[in-house]
Structure 1
């Protein structure tokens, strides 16, 4: 059953307890479930893993104030999805156009590693977000990393073995029970390595590799 996201959600005991600990250590941090950010009627929905300790968990906005957001928002700006490339604060007047960003898990997990039960518990929120996205005419999903990729397939009730994750992969997703309820609105799932500090510093993901994903998305959106 799909349900609407709430910043007051405390359904995952481990995560709720961890956020309480973080809030006690950092009283000025947001330290709650982080809502999606961006255009209310997007054509591109980007799915990350979870809020970062000193990024979204601090600021309350996905990929804002942390290292991963530097490459993401710079790339969004370059391809016309953002009005500027900065992402340091929720007060920076950043706006997204045709694009919205969310996470597979809405709460900061210890060591940035949600467990499988937390991914499943939070998945109904992602399912509702994707359903709204499709109903509004959105067609392009971008999964940042394998966990986000798997969470998308779970939300759409699709078997992960049929749609393997790899950087640069493009999957045309078939109609499913959710899609049929929404007039079989089709979706395309694009995969990228996550724009984390580890991936970029080890050169597993370079700026040019990341930009190639957005070049493909933009080309497909304008075709």
Structure 2
């Protein structure tokens, strides 16, 4: 995927300049998901994230030492007219930051896409690499932060800087339901909806597994948020999130999405 027109190609390890901090604002006029992706993958707005994603691609995990890492921002993946949008946290350092596709190449993705296959959203239960034939129907996955962060913890400033990408993706895809994986994504999505003029309750609804909140827009649009524990190993290996629990959320999303 090449940088957008008007943007100079950036080499890995290149310096982050003063113009980079406003780069995400170029997402706003993007007229299609493909155009949005072209802008997103060239972004170098967050110096800490740029340094980390590129460092990870150089100092690789031993099991991936022969692979070439993507090491750029990771765009959303799936149906561009999805009724259901899954909102995570950020790409995993040796998962999506390696493969270039959301939730692909790590245990979290294994858990998520297996559930999507069981509930009829995915044509196969595995997501190993970007060219493995996986197709999503009626559903799309994205995140509030599109670069892998150190310790899997983006800062509030990084989340705010990246917000235009999530906002424009919401406008272009137009989902009816958002399955939000974890409190970070929940807070980020509510903040983005607030910025876009949606009627977000005050105080803001709290995240919880199984939480269901209906948000409306003055123009008549509606979006239902469904809370779900994140598909991280911390939750799936301990049984805090089971396959049955995730399936129930996805089936509820399918029901609401129509």
TM normalised by structure 1 equals 0.90
Gaps spanning 5+ residues in structure 2: where? 1-24, 29-35, 61-66, 195-199
Measure, in 2, the Cα distance between the counterparts of 1:121 and 1:200: 30
8 Å Cα contact 1:34-1:56 kept in structure 2: yes
Q: Which residue of 2 aligns with 1:12?
A: 46
8 Å Cα contact 1:39-1:99 kept in structure 2: yes
In the comparison of the two structures, how many residue pairs are matched?
213
What displacement does 1:160 show? Answer: 7.1
What displacement does 1:104 show? Answer: 1.1
1:211 matched to 2:247: yes
1:201 matched to 2:243: no
Which one of 89, 92, 96 corresponds to residue 56 of structure 1? 96
Q: Which residue of 1 aligns with 2:228?
A: 192
8 Å Cα contact 2:53-2:93 kept in structure 1: no
Aligned-CA RMSD value: 1.6
Distance 1:154 1:212, change over 3 A: same
Q: Which residue of 2 aligns with 1:168?
A: 210
TM normalised by structure 2 equals 0.79
Measure, in 2, the Cα distance between the counterparts of 1:88 and 1:210: 20
Gaps spanning 5+ residues in structure 1: where? none
Written as runs of structure 1 = structure 2, the 5 A alignment for 1:73-88 is: 73-88=113-128
1:221 matched to 2:254: no
